[in-house]
Every structure is written in C-alpha cells, then in structure tokens.
C-alpha cells in the first residue's frame, strides 16, 4: 500500500519485478540503476548467491520527482525466480503497490513463465490482495534473441496475458523496453492514487 | 539455570526482605538466571542495575577509588544491591528498605564466587 | 539529530523512546519496508536500504517461526563492534509495524529491550484506526509522470 | 627540548611551508608553552590562511589561554572554510557553552557527533550540554536555558578540556568552607550540581592533584541513572549510593534539588562509619544550600 506523507507532500510506492529464474528481473533494475543520475537514486542493495542469482531480493530506491505536487519515490524490488524460493518471494511481495511480470521470451521457457505467473497469482491472493485490482504490467524480455528461439509478443500474449494487461517487448540487457515498462507500471500505480483507492495516510 | 547458580540465588532469596535476586550479563543488561517474587520485573531490574553499575563504576574510577566490589542504592521503598562476578556477570538483589544488608552482601559475594 | 515523521502520532512516543533508551536512532516502518518515522543520528545511514533489509529480516524470521510452528520469535538482536540492532514488531490498530533500533555502547540491549516494551505500548495506544482516503493525485498526473521519467532516463 | 618538538621543529625549519606547524603548535600547547605555540601557529597561518586544522589549533591555543572570544573567532574561521571540521565543531560547541549559549552549543555538538559518530569526546560534551539544558536527548530543546555556568564542566570538548579542568580546580580552591570541621573537608568531600559543576568542597587524586571537576562531571550522570532506576523499579526517591571499591569507599547522596554530595573514605574505614560522616556532611551541605537560597 503506497505511503503518503501529506506533511512533506511525499508519496512512496513499492513495485515488485516478478518472473521465473533468469528472466531478467535483476537486469531491469541494473539497467535503470545505470541510467539514472546519482541524485535521483539510492544505493542498490542486492542479496545474491555466489553465482549472482537473487537469493532474497534486489532493492533500488528511485526519486521520480514532483508529480501533482507530491515528491514521488518508488522502491523497486525483484524476487528470486527459482521455484524453491517461494517463501522469500511471498515476503517481498507483501505490501507491493504494483507488479511487473518479466517473462522469458524463449520458447522453451514457456512452461516456467506459466508456472511463475500462476505462482504470482497465488501469492498475491495469500497476501490478501485481489489479483484483478493490483496494478500489473507484463514484459516480454529477451526479444533480441534469434527468432527461432523465441515466441513473438502476440504468441506470448495468447499464452500469458489473459487479463489484457499492458505488455512490452524488451531487451533488458541493452535497455530496450525497460523505460516503457517502468513508465507503464508507474502510471498504473499512480492512477490508483488519483482514483482514491487504498493507501496509508499520514 | 545451572544448579550451582540456582542454589546461590536461593540462599540470597532466603534472607528476610529480599524480593528477588539474579545473575545479569554486565554488558548487555540481560537476565542470565533469576529467582524473583512475582511482582518484580526481572527484565527491568537487570537492565537498570547493569546501567547503574556501569555508570557508578566509571565514576568511581574517575575519583581514583578503583574497581567497585559492592554497590548499594538505598531508596525510600527499597534497596538495590549489586556485586560484580566473574565472566562479566553481576549478582543483583532487590530488597525491602530495612533488609540486613550485611547478610545479603555475604550471600551475594558467595553467589559471585559460584559463577566462577 | 534528525527526525522525519510521516505519521504524526508516532512522534511523541518515538522521541521519548530514543531518549529513554539512549539509542542512536530508531526507524518505524511498515512490514513492507516503508519508513513511517525515524529519529536520531541517522544522517550517515542509507535509510531506505536499512528499512528494506530490516523489514526483510523480520519477514523472514516470521516466516521461519511459522515453519517451525512458533507464533513469533519476538525481538531480534544483532551485536556488532560499535553498534547493535534491535528489531521487533509492534502491533497497532494501524496494523503491525516493524521497529528497528540502532544503539551504541553507551546503552545496552537490556535497556533497549526494556524501554521498547514501553514504546510498543505507547505506539499501540497512540495509533488511530486506519481510515479510507480520497484521491491523492490529480487525474492529469500522467503528463508530469512522463516528464519525470524522461528526465530520469535522460531522454 | 623534548624529542618530538625537536623533530617537528627540524621538519618545519627544512620546509617552512610544511603543514607540520599544526602538530608542533599542538605539542607546545599541551606542554603549556602557549606563547610559543601561538607564534608557531600564527607563522603557519600566514602561509596557509585557510588551513582549517591550523585555525582549529589556533582556537585550542586561545582557549588554553582562556581567551574565549579569540578562540571562538578562530573556530568560526575554521568552520567557514570547512563547515564539518570535527575539531572546530567541538571547539565551537565548547566556546558557546562557556559563554552561556547552551542551545547553540547543543546544535553545534550534535553536528560534530553526526560528522564523527565515534568521537567519545564530542559525545561526552554533548551529554554535558544536554544535562545542562535538562534534556536527555537532542529533542528540540524546550527547557529554558539555565544561567551561564560558573565553572567549566570537566567534560568540555576536545583539548580545551585540560584548561577547563585547570580553571575548575582553581575555582574549587576558593570555594566556601562548607564542610569545615569534617575530616577531609577539602580533599574527600565534594558538593556538585547535577550538571557536573563543583559547588563546594574538593576531591584530590592519589597524587594529591585536585580532581574535583573530573569527579563532579563523572558522578553527575550517576544521579540521573539512580533516579531512573528508582523510578522504574518503583523504589521511591533514592537516598544514598554506597560503592565499595578497591581503594576507597564512596557515599553519594542527593542534597535538595539538583545537588549531590560525595564523601570518600579509605577502604579500611567501616562503611557504617563512612555513612555517619556522610550524614554530617549532608547536614552541613543542606544548611549551607538553604542559606544560599535565603
């Protein structure tokens, strides 16, 4: 639930990048971290294993600047993708204001994508949140790989996007689609605030 | 609680007017072992006694008095007694105002030895 | 000494707690790691990172307790050379809050723990019930968002 | 000439532009050779007029000479060059406190501690200032400023504290003879306030040197600790603390609001007897304090 400080005119929102192992969630955050000037970001915290797989989460605080008279801050988190880390995924998901589902476009990863998306829905439900109302966007990552290895955005839409959510083809390693994805989820999350939905008031 | 420590605390608590006695970790202010009347908040006694012992210990060395071996704070409604023990422990007793301090002190010194 | 408070009702108990416990600084946050209030010498600290990690520790310890059939493990304490931290959950009508206390050698975990109990009770008593709120942002926020993100990415 | 002074002088002679002038001036200051220290630091500052360490050192020398306005000016210049200079912040806090501006000192010392969180000197100084203001933490100070302290607290920040202790000790020697007739009236009985300032009596160290100010500053904190302990353990008002230590027994007791009495007796004297002496000292102190209030 986003945190609104009316005294300091400040909004803080939590956005979680979700998806199967090695789909590129951490890469999204790393690209954002690399692009944003120092005065608009905090330190990026990564709890990773020795092989650089996310163990608990990555965390990146961002300062979006002034929106509608509020200093708007986003906290971006990733979850560990591997199936056996579900307990920690659930913890990171707690209190999320929006979710970016990062799918791996490779055809052979389709089952993992489906399984992870189902797992996301289940975990959101367990957090006591309605999956139909939580702001969410999809990202079809690794679209830069050879055509014969990947599914096209339309195919991924058919397989994963049942709710007709906004979806963005991406190459997170080189930055393509990262900005558009972040912009879309930011708009979804802030739209909820403009509609007077849930929130903690200070 | 080891039997030796338990016995030592039991002897202190047998002195008339003692409301409770305990071993406290001097640095952390946490209870290591305790024998208390129900009305005594062991957590509070441990934390505050350790803080007082540290403060008086520091001040005593500033006056050139050396290391404190026995500390007693008298108040209108009770007395707090503290004896430093080996292994960075404190033996602490909380008593009624008119307790036999000499007897209590003796048992606390023995309790300190039991912690060695 | 800095103080930043999002939820004003947390401030008096927070200031009292820091003074009583002689801690260096205290952060009050949601279980999701969002900072509701902080007080003390925290200028040199990456507060956002501290909150995210503190909340994560509490969340994982709670999950571990659950797995082991414990209701909760209560407070957590880590001792360092110069600083110790005390992490605990306080239940309020506003929902659970995670409290991170950082303290130095001028006090002790015993004192921090003792005064934390008082603080938790004071927070519980001071917390107003959660309430619905109206729209926060103007409906035409999207143009500003677009500009903000564009400048963020140097576009 | 001591070895360190010789070595530093040689370096400075070989390279008059060297920044080692600060170290040399500081060594001289600590030895009490204040005029020579002043000459050295002024020489260095002629070449390096914006050298914050040099300006900080100049402040310390002026403080040691008891020239507070000049000390404050020097620390002010240091802070103009380097706003977060820990030494200058501490010095400025010390100067402001001595001039009676405890609120100003509080703000500056809090900054000093933020800049150097591990600096025990700054922390002690801050504690002293907070006690003087009647605040335990750097809560926005609501307590009214107390009158300007008559004696400098022994825990005054950084190097000037040496001078401060000296000044306090000098003052102690001229204190009123409250405990006349009691054994150890000026060497083992001390009356001080809860800000750590000596009021009457005196306390000597093992070497005979006056440690009144140091003891008062150290023991003042015991009073608030005892009050807190008594309050939370529901013991009512505390009346006495007895500490039996290796070399002496100490009896500490509050005398009216805001004043504390310390009686020290050798280890061999029975505690009961020491308590009797303390009772007599307490009566004398109470009577004397009551007369002051008339």
Give CATH superfamily name and number for A3-201: P-loop containing nucleotide triphosphate hydrolases (3.40.50.300)
| Phi–psi pair at D207, nearest 5 degrees | -90, 10
Structure tokens that stand for D171 in this block = 């003052």
State how beta strands A136-141 and A3-5 pair.
Answer: unpaired
Question: Please, are residues A77 and A15 in contact by the beta-carbon 8 Å criterion?
Answer: yes
Whole-number mean pLDDT of chain D?
79
> B–C: how many Cβ contacts below 8 A?
35
What is residue A151's predicted lDDT score, i.e. its pLDDT? 97
Question: Please, are residues C42 and C27 in contact by the beta-carbon 8 Å criterion?
Answer: yes
What is residue D280's predicted lDDT score, i.e. its pLDDT? 92
CB contact (8 A) between residue D110 and residue C15: no
* Over residues C19-37, mean pLDDT: 90
What is residue C109's predicted lDDT score, i.e. its pLDDT? 94
What is each CA distance from B8 to A193, B82, B86, D101, D113, in whole angstroms? Answer: 64, 14, 14, 53, 44
Q: How remote is the C-alpha of C147 from its chain's centroid? A: 32
Res. A50 pLDDT band, cuts 50 70 90: low
Residues 29..88 of C with a Cβ closer than 8 Å to A: which? Answer: 30-36, 46, 48-49, 52-53, 56, 59-60, 63, 67
Q: Residues, chain D, total?
A: 294
* D188 strand-pairing partners: D203
Domains and CATH numbers, chain D: 3-133 (1.25.40.10), 171-293 (3.30.450.30)
Out of C20-34, C41-55, D11-25, D187-201, pick the least confident: C41-55
Substitution target from A34, A191, A200 for chain C, most C beta carbons within 10 A: A200
CB contact (8 A) between residue C1 and residue D136: no
* HSE value, Cβ hemisphere, 13 Å, CA-based, for D252: 34
CB contact (8 A) between residue B65 and residue D205: no
CB contact (8 A) between residue D114 and residue C19: no
Taking only the tens place, the pLDDT of each residue in C81-97 is 888 999 999 999 888 89
Substitution target from D103, D105, D109, D117 for chain C, most C beta carbons within 10 A: D117
**Cα angle: C24, vertex C128, C125; to 5 degrees:** 60
What is residue D135's predicted lDDT score, i.e. its pLDDT? 61
* Over residues B66-92, mean pLDDT: 96
Residue D245's nearest CA partner among B58, A47, A136 is B58
**Residue D16 burial (CB < 10 Å; 0-12/13-18/19+)?**
exposed
Query: Which CATH number is C2-130's, of 3.40.50.150, 1.10.1200.10, 1.10.3210.50, 3.30.450.30?
Result: 3.30.450.30
Taking only the tens place, the pLDDT of each residue in A177-198 is 999 999 999 999 999 888 875 4
CB contact (8 A) between residue A42 and residue C134: no
Substitution target from A3, A176, A192 for chain C, most C beta carbons within 10 A: A3
Buried b (16+ CB within 10 A) or exposed e, A113-142: beebbebbeebbeebebeeeebbbbbbbbb
Out of C18-32, D10-24, D234-248, pick the least confident: D10-24
d(CA D3, CA D19): 19
Nearest to B59 among D218, D234, D235 (CB): D218
Nearest to D215 among B51, B62, B71 (CB): B62
Substitution target from C80, C108, C121 for chain B, most B beta carbons within 10 A: C108
Searching chain B, which residue's CA lies closest to the CA of residue D245?
B68
What is residue B34's predicted lDDT score, i.e. its pLDDT? 95
What is residue A85's predicted lDDT score, i.e. its pLDDT? 79
Out of B59-73, C44-58, D150-164, D263-277, pick the least confident: D150-164
- Give the gyration radius of chain D's Cα atoms: 21
Domains and CATH numbers, chain B: 3-114 (3.30.450.30)
Question: Please, are residues B47 and B55 in contact by the beta-carbon 8 Å criterion?
Answer: no
Q: Does position C63 have pLDDT exceeding 90, yes or no?
A: no
Full DSSP string of D123-188: HHHHHHHHHHHT-SS-S---SPPPPPPSS--TT-STTHHHHHHHHHHHHHHTS--TTTTSTTTTTE
Structure tokens that stand for D77 in this block = 């210049």
With a CB cutoff of 8 Å and minimum separation 6, the contacts of D266 are D247, D248, D249
Measured between beta carbons, the chain D residues lying within 8 angstroms of C111 are: none
To the nearest 10 degrees (0 to 180), the angle between helices D120-133 and D212-232 is 70
Question: Please, are residues D41 and D57 in contact by the beta-carbon 8 Å criterion?
Answer: yes
| Phi–psi pair at C83, nearest 5 degrees | -125, 150
Question: Is the Cβ of B80 closer than 8 Å to some Cβ of chain D?
Answer: yes
Taking only the tens place, the pLDDT of each residue in D167-212 is 433 443 455 678 887 888 778 999 998 888 888 898 887 777 788 8
**Residue D211 burial (CB < 10 Å; 0-12/13-18/19+)?**
buried
Measured between beta carbons, the chain D residues lying within 8 angstroms of C1 are: 110, 114, 137-138
Structure tokens that stand for D262 in this block = 């310390």
Structure tokens that stand for A138 in this block = 């999809």
Question: Is the Cβ of D71 closer than 8 Å to some Cβ of chain B?
Answer: no
What is residue A165's predicted lDDT score, i.e. its pLDDT? 96
Neighbours of chain A (3+ CB pairs under 8 A): C
Measured between beta carbons, the chain D residues lying within 8 angstroms of B73 are: 226, 229-230, 235, 238, 240-241
Question: Please, are residues C109 and C76 in contact by the beta-carbon 8 Å criterion?
Answer: no
What is residue D79's predicted lDDT score, i.e. its pLDDT? 86
* Over residues D143-158, mean pLDDT: 32
With a CB cutoff of 8 Å and minimum separation 6, the contacts of C3 are C11, C14, C15, C37, C38, C39, C40
Res. D112 pLDDT band, cuts 50 70 90: confident
Q: Does position D161 have pLDDT exceeding 60, yes or no?
A: no
A196: left (phi over 0), alpha (psi -120 to 50) or beta: left
Tokens 């008031």 sit at which residue?
A201
What is residue C120's predicted lDDT score, i.e. its pLDDT? 95
Nearest to B76 among D214, D235, D248 (CB): D235
d(CA D67, CA C149): 57
What is residue D166's predicted lDDT score, i.e. its pLDDT? 36
Question: Please, are residues D286 and D211 in contact by the beta-carbon 8 Å criterion?
Answer: no
Q: Does position C49 have pLDDT exceeding 50, yes or no?
A: yes
* A48 strand-pairing partners: A54
Kindly indicate whether the ipTM for this predicted assembly is greater than 0.85, answering yes or no: no
Measured between beta carbons, the chain B residues lying within 8 angstroms of C111 are: 29, 47-48, 50-51
Which segment, B41-50, D25-34, D252-261, is predicted with the most confidence on average? Answer: B41-50
Question: Is the Cβ of C107 closer than 8 Å to some Cβ of chain B?
Answer: yes
Residues 94..153 of C with a Cβ closer than 8 Å to A: which? Answer: 94, 130-131, 133-139, 141-142, 144-146, 148-149, 151-153
CB contact (8 A) between residue C33 and residue A196: no
CB contact (8 A) between residue B24 and residue C109: no
Question: Is the Cβ of B47 closer than 8 Å to some Cβ of chain C?
Answer: yes
What is residue D134's predicted lDDT score, i.e. its pLDDT? 60
DSSP state at residue D225: H
């Amino acid at each position: 639930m986003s945190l609104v400080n009316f005294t300091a005119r400040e909004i803080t929102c939590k956005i979680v990048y979700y998806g199967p192992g090695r789909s590129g969630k951490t890469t999204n955050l790393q690209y954002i971290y690399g692009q944003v000037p120092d005065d608009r970001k905090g330190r990026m915290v990564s709890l990773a294993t020795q092989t650089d797989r996310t163990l608990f989460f990555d965390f990146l605080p961002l300062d979006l600047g002034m929106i509608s008279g509020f200093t708007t801050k986003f906290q971006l988190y990733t979850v560990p993708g591997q199936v056996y880390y579900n307990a920690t995924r659930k913890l990171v998901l707690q209190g999320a204001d929006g979710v970016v589902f990062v799918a791996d476009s490779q055809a052979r990863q389709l089952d993992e994508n489906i399984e992870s998306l189902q797992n996301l829905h289940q975990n959101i439900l367990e957090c006591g949140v309605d999956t139909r109302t939580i702001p969410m966007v999809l990202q079809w990552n690794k679209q830069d790989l050879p055509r014969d290895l990947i599914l096209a955005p339309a195919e991924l839409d058919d397989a994963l996007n049942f709710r007709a959510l906004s979806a963005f083809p991406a190459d997170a390693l080189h930055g393509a689609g990262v900005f558009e994805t972040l912009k879309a989820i930011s708009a979804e999350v802030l739209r909820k605030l403009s509609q007077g939905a849930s929130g903690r008031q200070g | 609680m080891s039997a030796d420590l338990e016995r030592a605390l039991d002897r202190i608590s047998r002195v008339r007017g003692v409301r409770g006695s305990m071993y406290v970790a001097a640095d952390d202010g946490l209870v290591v072992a305790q024998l208390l009347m129900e009305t005594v908040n062991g957590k509070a006694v441990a934390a505050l006694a350790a803080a007082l012992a540290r403060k008086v210990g520091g001040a005593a060395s500033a006056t050139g008095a050396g290391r404190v071996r026995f500390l007693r704070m008298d108040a209108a409604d009770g007395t707090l007694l503290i004896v430093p023990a080996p292994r960075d422990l404190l033996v602490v007793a909380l008593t009624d105002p008119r307790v036999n301090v000499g007897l209590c002190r003796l048992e606390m010194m023995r309790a300190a030895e039991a912690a060695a | 000494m800095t103080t930043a408070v999002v939820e004003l009702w947390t401030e008096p108990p927070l200031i009292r707690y820091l003074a009583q416990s002689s801690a260096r600084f205290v952060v009050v946050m949601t279980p999701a790691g969002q900072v509701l209030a902080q007080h003390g010498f925290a200028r040199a600290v990456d507060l956002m990172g501290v909150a995210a990690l503190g909340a994560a520790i509490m969340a994982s310890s709670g999950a571990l307790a659950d797995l082991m059939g414990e209701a909760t493990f209560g407070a957590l304490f880590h001792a360092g050379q110069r600083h110790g931290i005390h992490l605990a959950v306080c239940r309020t009508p506003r929902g659970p809050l995670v409290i991170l206390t950082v303290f130095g050698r001028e006090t002790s975990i015993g004192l921090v723990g003792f005064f934390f109990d008082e603080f938790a009770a004071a927070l519980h008593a001071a917390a107003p019930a959660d309430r619905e709120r109206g729209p926060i942002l103007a409906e035409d926020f999207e143009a500003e968002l677009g500009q903000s993100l564009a400048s963020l990415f140097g576009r | 000439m001591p070895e360190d002074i010789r070595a530093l002088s040689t370096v400075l002679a070989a390279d008059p532009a060297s920044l080692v002038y600060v170290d040399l001036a500081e060594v001289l200051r600590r030895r009490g050779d204040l005029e020579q220290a002043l000459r050295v630091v002024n020489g260095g500052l002629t070449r390096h007029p914006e050298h914050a360490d040099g300006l900080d050192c100049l402040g310390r020398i002026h403080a040691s000479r008891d020239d507070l306005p000049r000390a404050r000016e020097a620390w002010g210049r240091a802070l103009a060059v380097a706003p977060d200079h820990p030494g200058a912040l501490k010095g400025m806090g010390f100067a402001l406190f001595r001039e009676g501006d405890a609120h100003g000192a509080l703000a500056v010392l809090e900054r000093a501690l933020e800049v150097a969180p591990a600096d025990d000197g700054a922390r002690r100084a801050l504690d002293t200032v907070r006690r003087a203001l009647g605040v335990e933490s750097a809560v926005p100070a609501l307590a009214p400023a107390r009158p300007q302290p008559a004696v400098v607290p022994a825990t005054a920040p950084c190097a000037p504290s040496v001078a401060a202790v000296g000044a306090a000790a000098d003052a102690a020697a001229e204190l009123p003879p409250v405990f006349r007739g009691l054994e150890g009236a000026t060497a083992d009985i001390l009356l001080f306030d809860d800000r750590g300032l000596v009021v009457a009596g005196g306390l000597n160290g093992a070497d005979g040197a006056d440690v009144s100010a140091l003891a008062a500053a150290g023991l003042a904190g015991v009073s608030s600790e005892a009050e807190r302990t008594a309050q939370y353990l529901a013991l009512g008002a505390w009346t006495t603390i007895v500490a039996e230590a290796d070399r002496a027994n100490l009896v500490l007791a509050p005398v009216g609001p805001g004043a504390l009495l310390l009686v020290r007796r050798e280890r061999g004297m029975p505690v009961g007897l020491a308590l009797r002496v303390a009772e007599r000292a307490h009566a004398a102190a109470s009577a004397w304090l009551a007369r002051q209030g008339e």
